[in-house]
Amino acid sequence: MSEKLSVDIRSETGELESVILHSPGAEVENMTPETAERALYSDILNLNIALAEYNQLQGVLSKVTETLEVKDLLEDILELPSIREELIGKICQNENTGNVRDFLCDIPAGQLSTLLIEGVLMEKDNLTKFLYKGRYELMPLHNFFFMRDPAVCLSNKVIISKMASVVRERESIIMESIFHHHPRLGVPTINPIHSPQAAQITIEGGDVIVAGKDVLLIGTGARTTTQGIDFLLEYFKQEKVTKHILVQELPYKPESFIHLDMVFTMLDHDKCMVYEPVILKPKKLQTVHIIVQDGKVTSLFNEENLLKAMNKLGFGLEPVICGGTEDHWTQEREQWHSGTNFFAISPGKVIGYARNSYTLDELSKHGFDILKAKSVIKGEVDIKNYKKCVITIEGSELSRGGGGARCMTMPVRRKADDNR
């Protein structure tokens, strides 16, 4: 077992030191067009193509940082009998599938780790099950490769997400167990399910951006409720920390606006990627600035837009426009395919989809060199030789799942970013 890993996330762009990933497996294909909507997909994916694209993301990250596979972390904790029993119990209770509990308890840790992600087929051993149209006793976690959502690393603690859809609840249960019990982690977690307002709370990692040690950006819309943000306010009040929370209202439709990182991501100390209609011209969408200080909310007021609010706090951000500046149709098309969803591996060095060509052109105009993931993986180009760059992964299949490079990564440790 490697040495203990201290969770520490205080910015979006500090040099990445460790990240949790989940390479998509059979769970991605364990759906049909009929069940895709229930699985939160607009379409069904081809696993072979999606995995080949994902391997480019994993390959680039393994060149620059420690990568941890969630399936391996899960297998490690399932080797411990007490943790295995506790986790299986929580999952079965949450999904009302107690009849498979004994079956799961008897399976080797490696196989169990797979089943908890890829699903457990239903044994059609009575009339009710025989007539039931579904296939699974324990549903596959179709969305688990979007690792950003089930938990949020915030400073040296972890906020466990309360997912908006029941089909994703097991992801949070698994991640809480990993963060609690894995020998390399063992980090304190904060879970909204223990709140008196738990029924109204939802909060997902794609809506939370750690812009700096004292500045947090949170989207509220289809996946994160205002009550979820209020839960975080109460936590900051109890901790008696000073925080500026900038809350951005998001449209509920189309579905490409599900999270804040689908309309805004940080690229560098002084640059960000924005979807212009929501971030710079929000119209009826509010941007709310909340200040928590000395154990109370000291101020709560509207800002003109998110970028101006951040720049008042000293960020000095220059926006790069998703889809370019010339055609709103192009902006809409590229935002739909995760054109704002970039993941920073260090200041000014980010990963995104190659398919969003107008967005890449705009990045090039702002001084970013465009590098192909395959060239980085083969060692044909060295990221260290570039001050600012975008490493492009193929994403024609992955993007149809509804997320990009930031969605697919859960950073757990970054170096201190002196500029933030």
Give pLDDT tens digits for 241-270. 999 999 999 999 888 899 999 999 999 999
pLDDT of residue 29: 82
CA dist., res. 332 & res. 80, Å (int) = 48
User: Which residues of the chain register pLDDT less than 70?
Assistant: 1, 31-43, 418-420
CA dist., res. 289 & res. 264, Å (int) = 17
pLDDT of residue 60: 98
- Whether residue 356 lies inside any domain: the answer is yes
pLDDT of residue 336: 93
Of 245, 255, 323, residue with least CA distance to 287: 245
Tokens 């500045």 sit on residue: 215
- Whether residue 1 lies inside any domain: the answer is no
- Whether residue 420 lies inside any domain: the answer is no
Of 27, 51, 12, 337, residue with least CA distance to 171: 27
- Whether residue 182 lies inside any domain: the answer is yes
156 neighbors 132 (Cβ within 8 angstroms): no
Rg (CA), the chain: 21
pLDDT of residue 40: 47
CA dist., res. 136 & res. 122, Å (int) = 5
pLDDT of residue 39: 47
pLDDT of residue 32: 65
- Whether residue 6 lies inside any domain: the answer is no
- Whether residue 7 lies inside any domain: the answer is no
Domain membership of residue 153 as a residue range: 16-414
CATH of the domain at 284: 3.75.10.10
- Whether residue 25 lies inside any domain: the answer is yes
Domain count along the chain: 1
Continuous H helices in 79-138: 81-95, 101-105, 109-118, 127-131
- Whether residue 2 lies inside any domain: the answer is no
